[in-house]
A and B are shown apart, each in its own frame.
Chain A
Amino acid sequence: MTSSESARAIEAVWGIESPRLVAALTRVVRDVGLAEEFAQDAFVSALSQWSSDGIPRNPGAWLMSVAKRRAIDYFRRAQTGEEKMRLVGREMQVDESEETVFDALDEDYIPDDLLRLMFVACHPVLSLEARVALTLRLLGGLSTTEIARAFLTSESTIAQRIVRAKRSLAEAHVPFEIPDAAQRMQRLASVLEVIYLIFNEGYSASSGDDILRPALSEEALRLGRVLAELAPEEAEVHGLVALMELQSSRARARVGPSGEHVLLLEQDRSRWDHLQIRRGLAALARAERLGKPLGPYTLQAAIAASHARARTADETEWARIAALYDALAELYPTAVVKLNRAVAVGMAFGPASGLDLVDALLDEPALKAYHLLPSVRGDMLEKLQRFGEARAEFERAAELAHNARDRELLLARAARCARA
């Protein structure tokens, strides 16, 4: 192995092992920043030793034992009892021997540590962008450079964001624990929001490094699957995994040969990833089996699943989808959800019913510059043979569209209405 090959292999070990390492260290030192420092120290030792000796059989255990030694050294150097208290956690006795404290790290890997780390990285004291960066760093093992490239921002911006986030967590004395029942729903919602935001960053490549962006969606899916193993009793976790699997199963069919968007009903369904659809349906079934009222992610997954189960666009069960959108709009009455609901109602019960719902959205500020609103309205008017109005809507949609190819398609539809 050349030195650059071994360096790359060791980088790979970091990506695989660092989340557990940081999680277990945080349990003992009670500070994510400090935990990450010890983990990185261990990694630096690994770089020099493994380059000559090769990677050990169990690199995770090797890194953990070195990190543990670093932590003990640091702890011994801490001058005062007060400082020791600060380092090893408020509830710990100062006179407890430091060896005993760190023996905890010799125990087998504790899955709850990773779950605690997720809750800490997504803590509401942090801004959403700080949560995203910290999650990718601590739980994804991504470097600052990788995160910066993915978000099209400078490395120093991300580095600062992470430093500040760690400081905020320390200042707020955020405990390293799984939130109790009273807080759990809200805290879990924050974790799910962060994962879904990372997924969408990768999914909508409107800006940024388009090579790394699919990697963000993959990472979000991975984090979702990890979370599903850690918190199997949480239906919405499985709902989110199902939603992400089902949405990305359509990735290949979403964009046509000249870069135009292919809408769901026009997609070539043979290009969907059926293995991924199967995983999505399995995750949805796990969510539903828990027998709780369906949350917003599970409802969206159920909608995506209805599309995935239809072999052709004509076989879509629109009445079922409309009912799912009704339920979603109850929980999540956003303009986009209502627009989607109008489309489903129009498909299930005829364009006149859909149009009523769309017309109720015309004053929604969130939809003002949204080309899909006039485009959907145009479609319904065209079906109702109100061609003049339909044409005007398609032209307006074309004006609002961002993509040249989409604009062309909308103008073609306007022209078709003009001829009708």
Chain B
Amino acid sequence: MRFLVLVKSDKEWSGEVPSAEMGAFNARLEKDGVLLAAEGLQPSSKGARIKYENGRAAVTDGPFTETKELVAGFWIVQARSKDELIERFSHCPFDNQHLEVRQLFEAEDFPGTRVGTLSPALDRAG
């Protein structure tokens, strides 16, 4: 299974180089073969919000000053269980920030897709 780990913070990440501890934390995820994606987000002043109402889209440019919880970055990580994911991220070198962990849908979560007898070779045969 895969998890999206959102970094929530009331201050934005200004693009400073991650600490050596964070580098080591990410390196371990990579060495263990579970790191699928990791990105830091630019300040919300460079972003926008789009609100859909009455059939039209209303755009508000950043920064999102009224928000307490800004998303500063994210990981997508493979894990065998939520316990494993939480165990890994409980050693994440963060302070005064919090993470939100959400599980992603997988192919087998959709109806029908749990069945399947195709071998990869046949799949390729087209």
Contact = CB atoms under 8 A, between A and B. Distances in A.
B51 interface: no
A276 B84 CA distance: 22
Task: Name which of B36, B111, B120, B121 has the most chain A CB atoms within 10 A of its CB.
Answer: B120
A250 B123 contact: yes
A303 B86 contact: no
B91 interface: yes
On chain A, which size bracket covers the interface? 35 or more
B121 A336 contact: yes
Contacts of A251: 106-108, 113
Contacts of A204: 116-120
B114 A210 contact: yes
Contacts of A205: 114-117
A279 interface: yes
Given A252-B107, A275-B37, A403-B117, A372 B122 contact: yes
A254 B36 contact: no
Contacts of B116: 203-206, 254-255, 261
Given A204-B116, A204-B119, A247-B120, A16 B108 contact: no
A378 interface: no
A252 B120 contact: no
Nearest to B83: A12
Given A57-B91, A255-B112, A402 B117 contact: yes
B124 A304 contact: yes
Given A200-B119, A200-B120, A229-B33, A343 B125 contact: yes
Interface string A256-270: 111101011100000
B32 interface: yes
Contacts of A376: 125
Best-surrounded residue of A12, A219, A225 (most CB of chain B within 10 A): A12
A257 B115 CA distance: 10
Contacts, number: 131
A29 interface: no
A129 interface: no
Interface in A366-412: 372, 376, 402-403
Given A229-B33, A252-B110, A343-B126, A9 B117 contact: no
Nearest to A205: B116
Given A211-B108, A257-B112, A264 B120 contact: no
B102 interface: no
Nearest to A370: B122
B60 to A, nearest CB: 28
B120 A203 contact: yes
Given A12-B84, A255-B113, A402-B117, A275 B123 contact: no
A15 interface: yes
A254 B32 CA distance: 28
A205 B118 CA distance: 8
23 contacts: A8-B81, A11-B83, A12-B81, A16-B32, A55-B87, A203-B119, A204-B118, A204-B120, A214-B108, A221-B33, A225-B34, A226-B31, A226-B33, A229-B30, A247-B120, A251-B106, A254-B116, A254-B118, A257-B111, A259-B112, A337-B121, A343-B125, A372-B122
Interface of B: 1, 30-34, 36-37, 76, 78, 80-81, 83-84, 86-88, 90-91, 106-108, 110-126
Given A55-B87, A55-B90, A254-B116, 15 more contacts: A8-B81, A16-B88, A206-B117, A221-B78, A222-B33, A223-B33, A225-B33, A229-B33, A254-B107, A254-B123, A257-B112, A261-B117, A264-B123, A264-B126, A372-B122
7 pairs of A and B residues whose beta carbons are closest in the complex: A225-B33, A251-B107, A222-B33, A12-B87, A12-B83, A226-B33, A12-B84
